[in-house]
Structure 1
């Protein structure tokens, strides 16, 4: 029996995403490394436009040829290796759930925490693994110790789930939630930073910033906002749902206090995977969203008491990180910006077409808002799909009306 148990453990762990025998290493590592060697001499611009290289990456996905999907931000497709990891470990879990889930696969969370920390450029003791950006950011929003009359600054262009969370705290507890409104695109950092600064009062405790505005792709000057806020003794929460896995940065470089993201967006991890980052010295002051035996502990793991969860998804996240690392985040960012600019530059001068996104590298990457005079966003989206099978998302939200 001891020998059999040891064998099972080796199969469960050594074949996992966190070993040299990962599915990625078995299926893709050699091919992508060979492709990387062949393009190392290219400039960043040449690399972004090299269709031979990117065709190899494309073949790793299983996307439908019947639809041209231009909304890969809300939920990105996972490469085949990620899908296979989830399927493999789901089947393993169901062979004896209590044993394989709790005794074998549950051991994968710490290696995953370390792998995500490497990608995020931070201490692994600052990373909690959960299900999406809403859960990550709501953990902070509801976990902060705020008193009646304390003020929070956000914007009307923030993601609705975060807006509603702050509104709920305001209604229940009497905090004051103030929202700025921006007319994007904006190509001047000082315009954005000064708007937040002017909204600060002696009662302001928190600034909530969306790193990449999901409706129109505006990249916000997060580091500058954080430096300004910290000089006033104000903490900053960053919604990184559409930046992590896309833009080439480390979380500590932003100089924020709290950061939440969905890993099933630009990292292409399994659907229903997310990550929370909290600066280490602030962990003990945040209440967990769900119950914890030690809610005031300085251990980031207090935010992971989700009950029964999908351990196969965690293996899938690991394979997504393997895939991302092999390509390189900078290279991926350049390619996706190149693709967006390719179509946006071709349509921006067509009469009645309006682009709601800056085409300067500093202010946008993947997401671009577009509309046509005389058509509602819904009519525009339906026309694209009915005529060309191009899938986009239509939005009418506050002062934003476009497809993206």
Structure 2
């Protein structure tokens, strides 16, 4: 009797500490009242009007420790920092776990996965039994890539601007099993859906089985017409895998609306969940035919949970996802997308007016949101990135890959306009300093 009572008390304690499966969340304690007050104050404003409301976004910025970092992080497309409440939740879960790890992890925190699954499914607009919780988009998408039965000679269509880890997975299957991996190449930006859809259509042959498409191209932020590609592919009897690493938690969409068959994402990008968290979605009727990436006792099961047999995992990180979802919902998906797109356009439109500065991303709402590529005549991407960081303490990421040569810039909701003014000023100074260099010294 005593052990049962003790266990109930531990569940109650866990619920008090937790955000992922408790109504008494850190979000409720720390932010709900302030954000609710702002929501009431600006209830009449559209998401686009709210995007320019600095009073509202100042409240959001205060929730992120990264907003006061001495290094300006403009590589949120790589990994986004978490709000303070997510960091605190993970810390509390970690302290709880370390009192008696196997007890608290497997018997207490493990009970939170199903409510967390439901919360993520609500955010994604899908059935909880179609979602598996894992560590990142690479793990989610590699599960699909390696888990589908393909025969020698079967074709998969992707593009050279997809994410490297996914391309390498397909190339490994090609080398090992003799499938054919065909890659298109696009010159972004492209502001015409049919141009992209038609390229995939023309690549299809009688042996094509799968199209792999990236929702938001990580290099330059191009938004791909995923739904149209899926509809075209299904008309021809093909399946579609969607890499949503840079779209989920940023763009306002529901996963089933894409009409894909498979979808994988990282949650530590624009959802701001703990670093090392991800999610896999598989259309329910297709779960049984996908082999797990890691071993499972019933690999042909119809249960999505077969993809979660990871062994010992970080339960604190996993349960911290719930607080990130709380924070995201407090902002509102439409507002978040509108704000981040506004921030991207704020700096990029100014940069376009600087002689010698080039933008490599569409600024049209349908074709980009957070990410934009920038280059400065006379500087290679690596040189530009080094000078932005070394001289101005601005962190970005340089890209010299295939036909893309630029520095990627990706702000987030905690980014201030003054931060972006700092970036624009730096680009102006660097362009002026290198404008007199001979053409032979210019970066590509």
Q: Smaller-chain TM-score range?
A: over 0.9
Instruction: State the distance in 2 between where 1:299 and 1:184 align.
Output: 39
Where in structure 2 are the equivalents of 1:45-84 lying within 5 Å?
A: 45-63=48-66, 64-84=68-88
CA deviation vs aligned residue, 1:266-294 (integer Å, no higher than 9, x gap): 00000000000000000000000000000
**Residues 353, 370 of structure 1: 8 Å contact kept:** yes
Matched, 1:182 2:191: no
Residue matched to 2:120: 116
SS at match of 1:369: strand
Residue matched to 1:199: 203
Matched, 1:11 2:10: no
TM-score normalised per structure 1:
0.99
Match of 1:238 among 235, 242, 248: 242
Instruction: State the distance in 1 between where 2:22 and 2:390 align.
Output: 46
**Residues 91, 316 of structure 2: 8 Å contact kept:** yes
Instruction: State the distance in 2 between where 1:65 and 1:22 align.
Output: 26
Unaligned runs of 5+ in 2: 409-444
TM-score normalised per structure 2:
0.90
Match of 1:253 among 252, 257, 274: 257
SS at match of 2:157: strand
Instruction: State the distance in 2 between where 1:26 and 1:82 align.
Output: 12
Q: Cα distance, 1:43 vs. partner?
A: 2.6
Match of 2:39 among 36, 41, 44: 36
Match of 1:385 among 380, 389, 403: 389
**Residues 155, 179 of structure 1: 8 Å contact kept:** yes
**Residues 219, 364 of structure 1: 8 Å contact kept:** yes
**Residues 13, 108 of structure 1: 8 Å contact kept:** no
Q: Cα distance, 1:14 vs. partner?
A: 4.4
Unaligned runs of 5+ in 1: none
Matched, 1:130 2:134: yes
Residue matched to 1:305: 309
Match of 1:364 among 345, 348, 368: 368
Instruction: State the distance in 2 between where 1:215 and 1:395 align.
Output: 7
**Residues 108, 314 of structure 1: 8 Å contact kept:** no
Query: What root-mean-square deviation, in Å, do the aligned CA atoms of Structure 1 and Structure 2 show?
Result: 0.9
Matched, 1:23 2:32: no
Matched, 1:152 2:156: yes
40-49 vs 320-329, greater mean Cα deviation? 40-49
Q: Cα distance, 1:298 vs. partner?
A: 0.4
Where in structure 2 are the equivalents of 1:250-329 lying within 5 Å?
A: 250-329=254-333
